[in-house]
Structure 1
Amino acid sequence: MFFRRHKFIEKQRQKEEQMKSQFDNLSPILTENLETLRLIYSDCSDVVFRPFSIGEQFEAYIIYVEGLSNIEELDTNVLGPLMRESADADNDKDLNFSELVTKKISVSKIQEVHTFADCIEHLANGFPVMLVEGENSGFALGLAKWEKRSIEEPATESVVRGPREGFVETLGVNTSLLRRKLKSPHFKLKSMKVGRYTQTEISLAYIEGITDKTLIKEVEERIQKIDIDGILESEYIEELIEDNSYSPFPQLMTTERPDVAVSSLLEGRVVILVDGTPFVLIAPTTLFSLLQSSEDYYKRFMVGSVIRWLRYVLVFISLVFPSLYVSVLSYHQEMVPTNLIVSIAASREGIPFPALVEALLMEFTFEAIREAGIRLPKQVGAAVSIVGALVIGQAAIEAGLTSAPMVMVVALTGIASFTIPNYDFGFAIRLLRFPLTILGGILGLLGVMFGLLFIIIHLCKLRSFGEPYLSPLAPMGRGLRDVLVREPLWKMNTRPHLSGVYNKYRQAPHQKPEPKRGGETSD
């Protein structure tokens, strides 16, 4: 079966190559070009073939895709001037076709095409293609126009203080948002296309002189190896280029915020922008990058440090709180104060399930309510999440299916998980909570310790494009001060050392503000 499948794939590739070679270069005979294009776009009612004459010299056709091209500009700036060419034919009779087009039409972007592949590519991007009798080349006109979403604040990364703009589904808009913040010519964009049928455009963004060249080459090579029918979202790229596909932890950071992408570029990372999605990928990434919010740097450093430590504590609570509660309640009651254990035992009187089953039941219910709130319409989702949790929790307590302390544990765990800035990392924590709870219910605190050790060992082995996932904590590096606390901006003189050769200093030293005392004057 393997050899049969391999043989079938080879035949398909040979067939595609034969079709490409058959429809390679444009012919000087207009009818042959039109027959080929009509064959390629057979049963495509949105592809328009518009005949017209350029004076009395040339018979021509405009081919465009309805809904992707600007028809008004096409009529005004292309068809109108060229069809009125007969009035100026005496003055322009010595001009060839290319010179005539360049002189007569008022379109800023005109590109000459020589093959059918070029025609197909430009038509798919919304550029009308003009073919003329007697010419073995045509022109792609920069008159693309399609509907796009306006720039709004990202719903998943809202901030109190900071920019209110977010990426959209159009790649050109997203690159312009980055270019508006990075005005230096050292900001580079490399384009490539992935997907046999979708031909999705992908851009690699980096800053020359800051980003290590080996990192850029590695990212580029991994993307170029992708051979798939289509790319519909950046998750396709993420899953096909990450280091460890079986890890629950994300090895590329996703964001909808241009300011987060720019800050990552200034740290020497590579940003991957995919056409058709507002989520961009950042490589490499670390565990602590996923636990940081852009707002940490938009507040005073003392406030940012306190919030960062609060977030670390809540992430730990989100991971281990249910497993600790189940293990202590099942095997280590002597660790709980007497009054508290008596109160818990009284609340559990009449509960038909052991603590492990009770915790898994409540966790499953909470996750179901959260998922239902996401999938429902926005106006209904919030009400269902809040009312559903209250009603189901109270009903479960009154029915004797669960105890009030267990509802509190699950609710606090859920609230703690909401503080994780990165959604993918938060989902990994939610996923690992279930096996930890099972280990705590079977082996007690020993099972919880085994589970945590397994997670720590896995994190120590995990890498993102060669960068250790626990960097700069393990191995310990210079950026550790910006992990434990949020340093003042005037002390953040060096960039994180990701890998390879890097530009070490990002600002001049000794920038601590020191205003003059009263009575002193500057020279």
Structure 2
Amino acid sequence: MTHSRIKRLISLSQQPNPPVIPIDPALQHLALSKRLYSNLQLLHEMYADCTDVVFHECRYDNQSAVLLYIDGLTNTEELDRQVLKPLVEGMLDFLNPEDMRQKLALSSTTIVHTLAEIALQAGEGSAILLVDGHEQGIALCLPSVEKRSISEPSAEPVVRGPREGFVESLRVNTSLLRKRLKSPRLKFKSMKIGRFSQTNVVLAYIEGIASPSLLDEVEKRLSQINVEGLLDTAILEEYLETNKYSPFPQLLASERPDLVTANLLEGRVGIIAEGSPFVLIAPVSVFSFFQSSEDYYQRFMYGTALRWLRYFFAFIALLGPSLYVSILSFHQEMIPSTLMLSVAQSRDQIPFPAFVEALLMEITFEGLREAGTRLPKQVGAAVSIVGALVIGQAAIQSGIVSAPMVMVVAMTGIASFMIPNHAFGISVRLLRFPIMFFAACFGLLGVILAVLLINNHLLSLRSLGEPYFEPIAPFKRAGLQDVLGRAPYQARDASGEASGTGDAPAPQVDK
């Protein structure tokens, strides 16, 4: 907007009959004038074609006022009782806004001076009261936003443990954390992200445990995010990741308040966004994705056994088809003779090599898995199970794939379900295909080469400055208590690990 345009808009307050102004983005940065009619003209232009925005005009003793609110976001019942009724009945004089806010029986009011502040407050459910003769208004906090009730997270179920999960309401989520950590050292830093959405984002941490350098780095990265709208924390995750092209997630997303609380006590930070039930946790290591909340609610021996079981099945999920393809194509001498005769007999009528056979079955299995996820819950599970059985049996009978290949793919699919974190499970499923290609080209040497490349990538990866392979590389003996197994709580507390008694190490900020 040009300088002359701005001067013409500001001069509206001095005109007896202001003209209609075309909509302009710079309109919202104008300050309110003392003339109520001029303010209304600007607001009507800013909210043109917004049928949910209500302008309610009031008049008392020849003095005018307007109440602006958004239908559906503002509690109209409380607005009628607390504000409109006193205004109409003359119980509330049209005084200076600073004096009026003291007479209103509301817990939260804010003085607004610009159209931008009005747009922000109205979008959060507040009603704006503008009085003729005053160049400021009052934002009355009366939000009425429908929200989902607290329920058990479907993606992170446990047999024993809390059943509460985060919801899409920011204040409900912060209250779930505050209920578990009543100390005033639990801090919530707020900011707004998104040019149009103006989404409230909260950075949660425990003062004295979280590293100041970590907090500075997270705040710096959040402040540099420039998006039109923030719809979910997944968008924040992509902006906060150090390596955008890595197949591995570098932040942990969780719906469980107890899991976020435990990570805050270990010196990490949580990132909460309005409208998302998933809270981001940073920094994390690769071993964080193999830990489940239930590990800490069962006896430590059972938690340790489950941890090792996940590691073993993750190995199968990543390398199972590749080992089968490489051994069958290049290293048949490694298979016992009896088993080799049985495999050869089952593959006698198969027209495809082992790699193509595995590729067809893996793609089919992934398609069935995705179909079961997208279909309604009533039929999704049935389609996945019945589809796998029918397609597998039909493929064997038609001679497209062999029975051992179906068994290998089925075991691989079951193994991938053992990974507690869904995002990390997707990474393993994606990496399975290039490893199969290496196995088809170079045999076991190709599998070893692919594993070395993945390990090299994991060793160089960082999560907000922290090594992704910590505490293995760099080696930290104390951290092994929660990697190789689940140590008893007495041993963990004695070493200061995960007990909130020691400061987290300062991260090495990525340059």
TM-score past 0.5 threshold: yes
1:27 aligned partner, one-letter code: S
Post-superposition offset of 1:432 = 0.4
Is residue 2:495 matched to residue 1:490? no
Task: Report Cα offsets for 1:92-135 as digits up to 9, x if no partner.
Answer: 79x644324422x3221111111111111000111010000111
Task: Report Cα offsets for 1:457-512 as digits up to 9, x if no partner.
Answer: 00000011111111001111021122101100011024559xxx9259xxxxxxxx
Equivalent residue for 1:76?
81
| Aligned equivalent of 2:38, options 29, 32, 36 | 32
Q: Secondary structure at the match of 1:148?
A: coil
Post-superposition offset of 1:84 = 1.5
Post-superposition offset of 1:19 = 4.7
Q: Secondary structure at the match of 1:51?
A: strand
Q: Secondary structure at the match of 1:492?
A: helix
- Work out the CA distance in 2 between the residues paired with 1:232 and 1:482: 34
How many matched pairs? 477
Larger deviation, residues 167-176 vs 403-412: 167-176
Q: Secondary structure at the match of 2:202?
A: strand
Q: Secondary structure at the match of 1:243?
A: coil
Q: Secondary structure at the match of 2:372?
A: helix
Equivalent residue for 2:72?
67
Post-superposition offset of 1:240 = 1.1
Paired residues for 1:79-478 under 5 Å: 79-85=84-90, 96-103=96-103, 105-477=104-476, 478=478
Post-superposition offset of 1:442 = 1.3
Gapped regions of structure 1 (runs ≥ 5): 1-17, 505-523
Equivalent residue for 1:513?
none
1:485 aligned partner, one-letter code: G
2:320 aligned partner, one-letter code: F
- Work out the CA distance in 1 between the residues paired with 2:360 and 2:330: 20
Is residue 2:52 matched to residue 1:46? yes
Task: Report Cα offsets for 1:412-468 as digits up to 9, x if no partner.
Answer: 000000010111100000000011111111111000000000000000000111111
Post-superposition offset of 1:266 = 0.5
Post-superposition offset of 1:24 = 2.2
Task: Report Cα offsets for 1:133-164 as digits up to 9, x if no partner.
Answer: 11111111110001111111111101101111
1:391 aligned partner, one-letter code: V
Q: Secondary structure at the match of 1:290?
A: helix
CA RMSD of aligned residues (A): 1.6
Post-superposition offset of 1:23 = 3.8
Contact 1:459 1:470 (C-alpha < 8 Å) held by counterparts: yes
Cα pair distance change 1:97/1:431, threshold 3 Å: closer
Cα pair distance change 1:295/1:23, threshold 3 Å: same
Contact 1:327 1:441 (C-alpha < 8 Å) held by counterparts: yes
Q: Secondary structure at the match of 2:381?
A: helix
TM-score by length of 2: 0.91
Gapped regions of structure 2 (runs ≥ 5): 1-23, 506-511
1:241 aligned partner, one-letter code: L
- Work out the CA distance in 2 between the residues paired with 1:228 and 1:484: 41
Cα pair distance change 1:168/1:129, threshold 3 Å: same
- Work out the CA distance in 2 between the residues paired with 1:320 and 1:245: 24
Cα pair distance change 1:398/1:424, threshold 3 Å: same
Contact 2:459 2:468 (C-alpha < 8 Å) held by counterparts: yes
- Work out the CA distance in 2 between the residues paired with 1:240 and 1:350: 51
- Work out the CA distance in 2 between the residues paired with 1:266 and 1:26: 46
Task: Report Cα offsets for 1:60-112 as digits up to 9, x if no partner.
Answer: 11000010000000001111112212xx68xx79x644324422x32211111
1:462 aligned partner, one-letter code: L
| Aligned equivalent of 1:58, options 58, 63, 66 | 63
Post-superposition offset of 1:58 = 3.3
Contact 2:126 2:142 (C-alpha < 8 Å) held by counterparts: yes
- Work out the CA distance in 2 between the residues paired with 1:503 and 1:310: 29
- Work out the CA distance in 2 between the residues paired with 1:167 and 1:439: 42
Task: Report Cα offsets for 1:6-49 as digits up to 9, x if no partner.
Answer: xxxxxxxxxxxx95477421111101111111110001010000
- Work out the CA distance in 2 between the residues paired with 1:413 and 1:351: 21
Equivalent residue for 1:502?
503
- Work out the CA distance in 1 between the residues paired with 2:383 and 2:138: 56
- Work out the CA distance in 1 between the residues paired with 2:97 and 2:489: 60
Q: Secondary structure at the match of 1:28?
A: coil
- Work out the CA distance in 2 between the residues paired with 1:156 and 1:429: 18
- Work out the CA distance in 2 between the residues paired with 1:437 and 1:331: 13
Equivalent residue for 1:9?
none
Equivalent residue for 2:6?
none
- Work out the CA distance in 2 between the residues paired with 1:255 and 1:282: 8
Contact 2:266 2:504 (C-alpha < 8 Å) held by counterparts: no
Q: Secondary structure at the match of 1:254?
A: strand
- Work out the CA distance in 2 between the residues paired with 1:293 and 1:449: 29
Contact 1:495 1:503 (C-alpha < 8 Å) held by counterparts: no
- Work out the CA distance in 1 between the residues paired with 2:368 and 2:235: 28
TM-score by length of 1: 0.89
Post-superposition offset of 1:359 = 0.4
Cα pair distance change 1:22/1:316, threshold 3 Å: closer
Percent pairwise identity: 55
- Work out the CA distance in 1 between the residues paired with 2:481 and 2:231: 39
- Work out the CA distance in 2 between the residues paired with 1:174 and 1:439: 45
Cα pair distance change 1:96/1:351, threshold 3 Å: closer
Contact 1:311 1:420 (C-alpha < 8 Å) held by counterparts: yes
Contact 1:46 1:65 (C-alpha < 8 Å) held by counterparts: yes
2:503 aligned partner, one-letter code: Y
2:64 aligned partner, one-letter code: E
Contact 2:459 2:473 (C-alpha < 8 Å) held by counterparts: yes
2:338 aligned partner, one-letter code: N
1:419 aligned partner, one-letter code: M
Q: Secondary structure at the match of 2:183?
A: coil
- Work out the CA distance in 2 between the residues paired with 1:235 and 1:389: 31
- Work out the CA distance in 2 between the residues paired with 1:192 and 1:20: 22
1:255 aligned partner, one-letter code: S
2:249 aligned partner, one-letter code: P
- Work out the CA distance in 2 between the residues paired with 1:238 and 1:145: 29
- Work out the CA distance in 1 between the residues paired with 2:44 and 2:100: 27
Cα pair distance change 1:110/1:482, threshold 3 Å: same
Q: Secondary structure at the match of 2:138?
A: strand
Cα pair distance change 1:107/1:51, threshold 3 Å: same
Task: Report Cα offsets for 1:176-198 as digits up to 9, x if no partner.
Answer: 11111111110001111111111
Contact 2:127 2:139 (C-alpha < 8 Å) held by counterparts: yes
Contact 2:28 2:114 (C-alpha < 8 Å) held by counterparts: no
Contact 2:164 2:257 (C-alpha < 8 Å) held by counterparts: yes
- Work out the CA distance in 2 between the residues paired with 1:96 and 1:330: 86
Cα pair distance change 1:23/1:304, threshold 3 Å: closer
Q: Secondary structure at the match of 1:193?
A: strand
- Work out the CA distance in 2 between the residues paired with 1:121 and 1:96: 22
1:80 aligned partner, one-letter code: K
Task: Report Cα offsets for 1:341-400 as digits up to 9, x if no partner.
Answer: 111111111001111100000000000000000011111100000000000000000001
